[in-house]
Amino acid sequence: MFGFLWIVIALPFAGFLALAIFGGRIKKSAVAQVGVGATALSALWALCIGTRFLISPPAGYEYTQVLWSWVPVAPLMSVFSFRLDGLSLIMILVILIVASLILLYSSESMAHEEGYARFFAYMNLFVGCMLVLVLANDLLVLYLGWEGVGLCSYLLIGFHYKDPASIRASKKAFIVTRIGDVAFMIGLFLIVKNLGTLQVFGALQKASLLWPVGSPFPCAVSLLLLTGAIGKSAQVPLQVWLPDAMAGPTPVSALIHAATMVIAGVYLIARMHGLFLLSPAVMGMTACIGAATLLAAGCAALMQRDIKRVLAYSTISQIGYMFLALGVGAFSAAIFHFLVHAFFKSLLFLAAGVVIQSCNEEHDIFKMGGLRQTLPWAFWTFLIGSCSLSALPLVSAGFYSKDLIIFSVWSSTMGNGWLWLCAEAGALLTAVYSFRVVFIVFFGARRLISLKKTGLRTNLPLAILSFFALGAGFILLSVPQAVTGSFFSNILNAVFPAPALKNVAPGVSTLLHLISPAASIGGIIIAWVLFLKKPRIVQDLAQNPAGKILHTFFLEGLWFDRLYAFLFVRPFVWATGYMRRDPLVFYVKAIARSAESLHKALSLTQTGNVRWYAAGIALGAVIIMAIGVLL
């Protein structure tokens, strides 16, 4: 059964090839069937394998399938092999389920676009590369998937290639993530050089034997891998590409920039946790980056006007939570949050897509209003997503995952009170900004005419995702030892070591468990007051000059774009403008010019005067005589 693991990956690639070759020639309905079907079949197959894994797990809760030898060069004997364990099983299930639902949604929402087949081809290629990334047993194969998803992200953000904003956004995304990719590659070089293998578990075992905790090598390698993760997952300081990437179509934002590609960094750190645990400094850095990002992105999300940009900053912020969890050693909590986040974030994006399309491609939330009545389906699904995002207590899955993270931050030996405070403040902010959007878009006075009848292909995915957004918590956490019982406790914990925990007194523990729900409910109430009941408060704050500056600061993404433009873009553009005049050709032309001047000088000797020539001959004779005589 597990021997057919490769089918899971092969199906999306087959879909890509079929659509790439024949996509232009077959009908749109056939394109949709192939495009959605390839991923959906792969999802079904993954479910079968997953069920088999849970019911009768293989020895050690892991299974490795070797396909072929890839780079048989000593010492780097890289083989194309896949590994199925708790972590990768969760990843492929989430990726495939979410991808199938999003592709089903987009078969209707992208129906009027030209390049329909191209869209599905790229999406299938993306799913295939993402699966390669998460199933890879060898770091070189992982890097292959890493680069593949980067490429697909570039292709899909720039899907509307005639729109200059899309092109700029896709280039920006690619270039910024490239910085991380280079660091990643250098990290791989260090691993090969010092550990002699890129096979994940071989490398981790050797590392734990060879390198003591806190020594420079694991710190350097983990730092480089962390940089790669930051680039791909859009954390501070490389987060500038994700808000602009919203120029792509909404399903692309949902799949790539909410649910799957941006968590590749999280997956990388989780997979290489052995290496990270050897360098506590880098773990601390990860946690700090996570905390800083979640706060900064949360503040930025609070000021945005474009509905998709709010969701983009929200993604950055939630991934900050995952990084925070990874940084304090709560790997399982990070993966759990990833799982829940995939569902509710893609739900939010798809619902936002419905809203945008029905408002005639309007993105500005202040131009919308009161859409509760006209778009009920979109309203309820968006509300469910926002509840999950704000971690509404007990009801939504987001509560369980976020609470787990926040508690781990307090109780882990690698966490401290400041990080906990950041996490709690972030939870409050999350609730405020997500319900800000809900209240402004769906409540209040009607400003726009919206007409869209959404079909089954749109509503079904929304429904399924809503179910998961609410229920995923129960299924996986709150029902211990039940039907699926030992999933998280055994199978995932077989992958990760449990985090070292401080001793927390029960009273403190209860208090902490009460603060998180208070934060989320408090945030919702604050949002209700500020944006629905008394909008005057916000308007007065906006008139204040300090308020204006703060608003612009957060609106423009904490001015990171300006900083980078000043530090890197402007000098580079200046240099290219200077080189456009070909200054180096000056030196080549100098040869030609000196030849010309020599010619002009020598032609002065061509006077035409016969006696002058005779004198030249005579002088030459004198000189030669002199040389002959003197030497």
Binding positions for another protein, rule: CB under 8 A: 603, 606-611, 614-615, 618-619, 621-622, 625-626, 628-629
Give the distance from CA 10 to its chain's centroid. Answer: 23
User: With respect to another protein, which residue has the nearer C-beta, 500 or 614?
Assistant: 614
Instruction: State how beta strands 62-73 and 76-85 pair.
Output: antiparallel
Name the minimum Å distance from CB 171 to another protein.
57
Alpha-carbon distance 241 to 207, whole Å? 34
User: With respect to another protein, which residue has the nearer C-beta, 505 or 629?
Assistant: 629
Alpha-carbon distance 233 to 316, whole Å? 8
Alpha-carbon distance 37 to 422, whole Å? 43
Alpha-carbon distance 275 to 104, whole Å? 39
Kindly state the tokens that stand for 355.
């809203």
Cis ω before 499 (30° cut-off from 0): no
User: With respect to another protein, which residue has the nearer C-beta, 73 or 629?
Assistant: 629
User: With respect to another protein, which residue has the nearer C-beta, 376 or 616?
Assistant: 616
Name the minimum Å distance from CB 575 to another protein.
45
Kindly state the tokens that stand for 600.
């002009």
Neighbours of 351 (CB within 10 A): 29
Q: Are 310 and 433 in contact (CB under 8 A)?
A: yes
Name the minimum Å distance from CB 591 to another protein.
24
User: With respect to another protein, which residue has the nearer C-beta, 481 or 609?
Assistant: 609
Name the minimum Å distance from CB 598 to another protein.
15
Alpha-carbon distance 595 to 44, whole Å? 76
User: With respect to another protein, which residue has the nearer C-beta, 6 or 613?
Assistant: 613
Alpha-carbon distance 387 to 434, whole Å? 8
Kindly state the tokens that stand for 195.
């550990």
User: With respect to another protein, which residue has the nearer C-beta, 579 or 626?
Assistant: 626
Name the minimum Å distance from CB 628 to another protein.
7
Given its phi and psi angles, is residue 115 left (phi above 0), alpha (psi -120 to 50 degrees) or beta? left
User: With respect to another protein, which residue has the nearer C-beta, 417 or 608?
Assistant: 608
Neighbours of 416 (CB within 10 A): 15
Name the minimum Å distance from CB 630 to another protein.
9
User: With respect to another protein, which residue has the nearer C-beta, 583 or 608?
Assistant: 608
**To the nearest 5 percent, what fractions of the chain are helix, strand and coil?**
75, 5, 20
Name the minimum Å distance from CB 623 to another protein.
9
Closest CA to 381 of 357, 339, 351, 359: 351
Name the minimum Å distance from CB 582 to another protein.
33
User: With respect to another protein, which residue has the nearer C-beta, 66 or 595?
Assistant: 595
Kindly state the tokens that stand for 617.
């001959």
Q: What Cα–Cα distance (Å) separates residue 113 from each residue in 44, 160, 176, 357, 456?
A: 28, 9, 28, 12, 19
Name the minimum Å distance from CB 629 to another protein.
5
- The three state secondary structure string of 402-464 is HHHHHHHHHHECCCCHHHHHHHHHHHHHHHHHHHHHHHHHHCCCCCCCCCCCCCHHHHHHHHH
Name the minimum Å distance from CB 590 to another protein.
25
Phi, psi of 500 (to 5 degrees): -70, 125
Neighbours of 79 (CB within 10 A): 18
User: With respect to another protein, which residue has the nearer C-beta, 25 or 599?
Assistant: 599
Phi, psi of 109 (to 5 degrees): -75, -25
User: With respect to another protein, which residue has the nearer C-beta, 514 or 595?
Assistant: 595
Q: Are 261 and 228 in contact (CB under 8 A)?
A: no
Name the minimum Å distance from CB 569 to another protein.
54
- The alpha carbon torsion through 551, 555, 558, 559 (nearest 10 deg) reads -110
Name the minimum Å distance from CB 594 to another protein.
20
